[in-house]
């Protein structure tokens, strides 16, 4: 494949909004002669003036050298007429999210610029294939999706339309590396990687709220505490803007021909209809009119630890939760027996405590004393964990479970019946969506993991979670949820099923190897 080098390319950025000036800053900082163009010249000048103030503050705080500041502004200029962009080798548009407007811009530029000028769109959701269809030499049209703020966020999605040149995509990949970004490549598809794979993080949260099994503040706490997400889904959508997040979900849903996995939430629609957009409007899931947002979540009180030791039996290997076993072993308040040959369970009296596999305690364990618990991403530091008891469990049974958690210095968050609970349910759906993206050759496992870690700050990528929890565990959770709900949104990806089969084969081979001695 012929190579193309863009390390010295002349860059033009169109659109002087937050994203546009951020991209222009990046290009200029990395030595590219960079022009900023906006139909409103005053907006371009105001953006440049504001950028200078911001960077001068960084210099004053010793976070940037004065030399780099001078170099950046020596490379950065304002184009007052679109004709001035005729010599640009790379044009990046960051204008309004409307296909027809972007097409009209690129058509105009196609009359000014040489046939080998690259037209890159910073769109977050519009089909690159569709944009390119109306442009002469569509092979030069590519998606270059930065995340806001562009100078700070590491991820850049490089999106290939049906006719996008592989040479151009590779050249942009190398260029983004030179700009100290984390580039990933994907085919043009609704939502690309991040805005597609992230949909379940919001959808399952809103489903839990719609089913009235939790509250926004409790749900956010659980996803932060147990899943190690930087922000819970309710506070995150309040920050993004409920109107913006809802609009993206609607767009992905429509573009996928009303695929049930992306169906928008009535909970979120109510907020948008009411003008409760989140932080920017002062009200979303939370009220931001006070010094501290309301409502705030309060953990239940710690149960007092009894002076007598509690006898329990731990069955199974708990390969997905070795840290939990370590806590149990370290406790001086427990007397423990082990049986690794039995299925995973912690037996306390006649109560069986298990990790949820997507069951419903009210449907599956009506007459059995079962407590299902969620998963924690860091058992060593765990403070609390969601749990749910079957109808057969009495108050005395729940008290035994409280005593067990107190003995390992954790607080149980008793919740209503909800298949898969919260962390396991969310992660399972994220993994399933990521598997669908790989199945359809949108991107690779590695790039999807990178995209979710650097684009939305997930603690791990979906495939890293799957390796940790186990593909078969995730598959079983989804199968149970599909059985319980009977909805297509919970159907298992065939790619996930194949990964689970590979995992079973590998486990069997390892077992046979150990038995052979």
- Rounded to 5 degrees, φ, ψ at 97 are -80, 70
For residue 7, the Cα-to-chain-centroid distance in whole angstroms is 31
- From 195, 321, 344, 390, the catalytic residue: 195
Point out the catalytic residue in the list 44, 121, 122, 124. 124
How many CB atoms within 10 Å of residue 450?
Answer: 19
Active-site residue, 390 included: no
Pairwise CA distance, residues 192 & 146, whole Å: 12
Residue 192: exposure state from Cβ atoms within 10 A (0-12, 13-18, ≥19): buried
Say whether the peptide bond before residue 460 is cis (omega within 30 degrees of 0): no
Alpha helices in 39-181 (DSSP H): 41-60, 66-75, 99-112, 128-132, 166-178
CA-to-CA distance for 73 and 370, rounded, in angstroms?
65
Instruction: Judge whether 157 counts as a catalytic residue.
Output: yes
The Cα–Cα gap between 137 and 121 comes to 15
84, two tokens: 């001035």
The catalytic position among 32, 44, 121, 145 is 145
Q: Of 399, 380, 324, 396, nearest to 355 (Cα)?
A: 324
SS3 state at 439 = helix
Angle between helices 423-439 and 462-469 (to 10 degrees): 120
Known catalytic residue at 344: no
Kindly state the DSSP code that residue 317 receives in the 8-state scheme. Answer: -
Give φ, ψ of 92 to 5 degrees.
Answer: -115, 120
Order the strands of the 141-146 sheet from edge to edge.
76-79, 34-37, 11-14, 90-93, 118-121, 141-146, 155-160, 182-187
Residue 442 buriedness (CB in 10 A; 0-12 / 13-18 / 19+): buried
* Tokens 């991209």, residue located: 23
Point out the catalytic residue in the list 93, 157, 217, 359: 157
Known catalytic residues? 124, 145, 157, 195
């Amino acid at each position: 494949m012929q190579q193309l080098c863009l390390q010295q390319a002349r860059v033009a950025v169109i659109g002087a909004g937050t994203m546009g000036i951020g991209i222009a800053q990046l290009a200029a900082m990395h030595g590219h002669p960079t022009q900023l163009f906006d139909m409103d010249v005053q907006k371009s000048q105001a953006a440049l003036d504001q950028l200078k103030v911001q960077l001068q503050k960084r210099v004053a705080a010793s976070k940037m050298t004065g030399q780099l500041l001078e170099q950046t502004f020596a490379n950065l200029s304002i184009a007052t007429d679109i004709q001035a962009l005729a010599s640009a080798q790379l044009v990046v548009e960051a204008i309004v999210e409307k296909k027809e407007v972007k097409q009209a811009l690129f058509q105009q530029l196609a009359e000014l610029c040489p046939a080998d000028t690259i037209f890159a769109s910073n769109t977050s959701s519009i089909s690159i294939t569709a944009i390119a269809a109306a442009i002469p030499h569509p092979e030069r049209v590519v998606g270059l999706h930065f995340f806001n703020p562009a100078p700070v966020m590491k991820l850049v999605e490089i999106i290939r339309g049906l006719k996008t040149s592989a040479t151009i995509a590779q050249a942009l990949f190398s260029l983004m590396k030179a700009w100290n970004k984390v580039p990933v490549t994907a085919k043009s598809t609704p939502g690309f990687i991040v805005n597609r794979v992230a949909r379940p993080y919001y959808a399952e949260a809103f489903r839990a709220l719609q089913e009235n099994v939790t509250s926004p503040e409790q749900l956010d706490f659980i996803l932060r505490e147990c899943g190690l997400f930087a922000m819970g889904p309710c506070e995150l959508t309040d920050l993004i803007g409920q109107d913006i997040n809802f609009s993206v979900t609607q767009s992905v849903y429509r573009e996928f021909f009303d695929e049930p996995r992306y169906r928008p939430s009535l909970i979120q629609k109510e907020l948008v209809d009411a003008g409760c957009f989140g932080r920017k409007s002062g009200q979303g899931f939370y009220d931001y009119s006070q010094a501290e947002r309301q409502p705030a979540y309060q953990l239940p009180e710690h149960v007092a630890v009894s002076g007598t030791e509690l006898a329990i039996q731990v069955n199974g290997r708990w390969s997905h939760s070795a840290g939990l076993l370590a806590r149990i072993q370290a406790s001086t308040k427990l007397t423990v027996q082990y049986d690794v040959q039995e299925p995973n369970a912690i037996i306390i009296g006649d109560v069986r405590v298990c990790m949820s596999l997507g069951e419903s305690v009210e449907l599956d364990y009506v007459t059995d004393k079962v407590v299902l618990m969620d998963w924690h991403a860091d058992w060593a530091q765990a403070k609390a964990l969601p749990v749910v008891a079957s109808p057969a469990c009495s108050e005395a049974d729940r008290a035994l479970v409280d005593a067990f958690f107190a003995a390992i210095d954790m607080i149980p968050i008793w919740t209503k019946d909800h298949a898969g609970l919260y962390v396991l349910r969310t992660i399972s759906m994220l993994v399933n969506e990521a598997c669908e993206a790989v199945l359809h050759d949108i991107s690779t496992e590695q790039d999807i993991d990178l995209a979710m870690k650097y684009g939305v700050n997930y603690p791990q990528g979906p495939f890293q979670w799957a390796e940790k929890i186990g593909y078969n565990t995730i598959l079983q959770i989804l199968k149970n949820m599909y059985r319980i709900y009977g909805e297509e949104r919970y159907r298992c990806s065939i790619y996930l099923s194949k990964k689970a089969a590979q995992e079973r084969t590998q486990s069997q081979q390892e077992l046979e190897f150990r038995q052979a001695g």
